[in-house]
Structure 1
Amino acid sequence: MAGVVATAATAVGLFAGTNIDDLVVLAVLFLSSRATGVLRAGQIWVGQAAGFTVLVAVSVGAALGLGIVPDRWVGLLGLLPLALGALGLVRAARAQRSGEPVPAVAATGPASVMALTVINGADNLTVYPPVLRTIGVGSAVVTVVVFAAGVVVWCLLGSWLGSHRKIVEVVGRWGHWIIPAVFVIIGVIILLGSGVLSTIR
């Protein structure tokens, strides 16, 4: 039981850390829905669920494909989120110096919300497969269930945030720093936890 709780807690942290940007997108979508009425709240829920299902399905498939890779080398995949996070931090610093605006989010229906979710969460595909591959089948199932619950919580939070324009602005401002920092941390954890560095030495 303790193992399941620990796995669930880890999955919660993984979901939250890799989807802060998605929360910002959801908040903006719900805000836009209230302001324009073009996109209904139900369409946002459906699109978000469908998009994240695609991301998880691709991640599970990729994790199964990693079965041909010896366990001691799977940890090298931690370099992907590490590099992505480092690049994100560089871009965030560059954007801050140049004063670049945050790109606008546009969607008109469930399909466009789904596409937005997949595109926005594509970087998660560098994190989820190696994690799912290294934690075992039982823990992977628990993780996927937590992710499903996370989508519901994210939509609820996004709806709440979307009713507070100031909160959207704050989350949007700091999210550019938090998200890549989390990816760097995840990459380091994968590298250290897998023991691949010891194998290399």
Structure 2
Amino acid sequence: MGYMLGVFGVAIVMFASTNIDDIFVLLGFFADRKFRLRQIVIGQYLGIGALYGFSALASFLVLVVPATYIGLLGLAPIYFGVRRLWELWNGIETGDDPEDHTKASAGHGNIVAVTLVTIANGGDNISIYTPIFATRSAYEILTIGCIFAVLTAIWLAAAHSLVNHPTLGAPIRRHGHRIVPFVLIALGILIFYEAGTATLFWR
């Protein structure tokens, strides 16, 4: 029992400490009418799943990806931030009818956007998860993955609740979509800076 509690504790600390900033990114997505709840949920799970899966694979292969190359993922949030800023500047709003099946491709694009931003935001998590997974059994890694899935649901629920809060929800929904582009661009630049990716271009 104590052994399993230890695994649970490690998983919770790993997830919470490396994904605390993800709450703010999710707030932005939920506040943006362009994104549907289903698209955000699917994209978030795909992103977290990709980070977890790559870290697990890397731990088995004893593979460590240099942080400077992981930092290239910062291009994703910068791209989506600039694109959303351009849409806002040109007055392009997407209050589309969710039943309009002709918008399916746009919906898929939103899922990809959430997925890539989640991966980019958590790209440095790989360097944390990989050595921890390398010291764990396959059963423990699988258990941690299940806990990550539950915690991802909690993260999504917390962000969604804040956006729909009686007091806090209105200003978040009113101004959140305008702040999102700047948050994404800043996030991408921060990822570049922290990973030292700029040195790849200076060499």
How far residue 63 of structure 1 moved from its aligned partner, in angstroms, is: 0.4
2:198 corresponds in structure 1 to none
1:125 corresponds in structure 2 to 126
How far residue 31 of structure 1 moved from its aligned partner, in angstroms, is: 1.5
TM-score between both structures, scaled by the size of structure 2: 0.58
Q: 5+ unaligned residues in a row in structure 2: which ranges?
A: 72-80, 85-106, 177-182, 188-203
Question: Which of the residues 44, 53, 76 maps onto 1:57?
Answer: 53
Query: In structure 1, how many angstroms separate the alpha carbons of the residues matched to 2:56 and 2:8?
Result: 17
Query: In structure 2, how many angstroms separate the alpha carbons of the residues matched to 1:153 and 1:125?
Result: 21
Q: State the superposition RMSD in angstroms.
A: 3.3
2:31 and 2:172 in contact (8 A); partners too: no
TM-score between both structures, scaled by the size of structure 1: 0.59
The range that moved more, 155-164 or 120-129, is 155-164
1:50 and 1:114 in contact (8 A); partners too: yes
Q: 5+ unaligned residues in a row in structure 1: which ranges?
A: 68-76, 85-102, 177-201
2:44 and 2:114 in contact (8 A); partners too: yes
Query: In structure 2, how many angstroms separate the alpha carbons of the residues matched to 1:167 and 1:39?
Result: 14
Give matches, 1:74-89, under 5 Å.
none
1:15 corresponds in structure 2 to 15
| Secondary structure of 1:127 counterpart | helix
2:27 and 2:162 in contact (8 A); partners too: yes
| Secondary structure of 1:38 counterpart | coil
Distance 1:144 1:105, change over 3 A: farther
How far residue 21 of structure 1 moved from its aligned partner, in angstroms, is: 1.4
Distance 1:38 1:167, change over 3 A: closer
2:76 corresponds in structure 1 to none
Query: In structure 1, how many angstroms separate the alpha carbons of the residues matched to 2:62 and 2:136?
Result: 13
Counterpart amino acid of residue 153 in structure 1: I
How far residue 151 of structure 1 moved from its aligned partner, in angstroms, is: 1.1
1:137 corresponds in structure 2 to 138
Query: In structure 2, how many angstroms separate the alpha carbons of the residues matched to 1:167 and 1:7?
Result: 36
Query: In structure 2, how many angstroms separate the alpha carbons of the residues matched to 1:8 and 1:141?
Result: 11
Counterpart amino acid of residue 145 in structure 1: C
Query: In structure 2, how many angstroms separate the alpha carbons of the residues matched to 1:157 and 1:104?
Result: 27
Query: In structure 1, how many angstroms separate the alpha carbons of the residues matched to 2:6 and 2:129?
Result: 17
| Secondary structure of 1:122 counterpart | coil
1:27 corresponds in structure 2 to 27
Query: In structure 2, how many angstroms separate the alpha carbons of the residues matched to 1:145 and 1:105?
Result: 34
How far residue 167 of structure 1 moved from its aligned partner, in angstroms, is: 8.3
Would you tell me which structure has more helix in proportion to its own residues?
Answer: 1
Query: In structure 1, how many angstroms separate the alpha carbons of the residues matched to 2:42 and 2:140?
Result: 26
Distance 1:43 1:120, change over 3 A: same
Query: In structure 2, how many angstroms separate the alpha carbons of the residues matched to 1:47 and 1:146?
Result: 18
Q: How many residues align?
A: 138
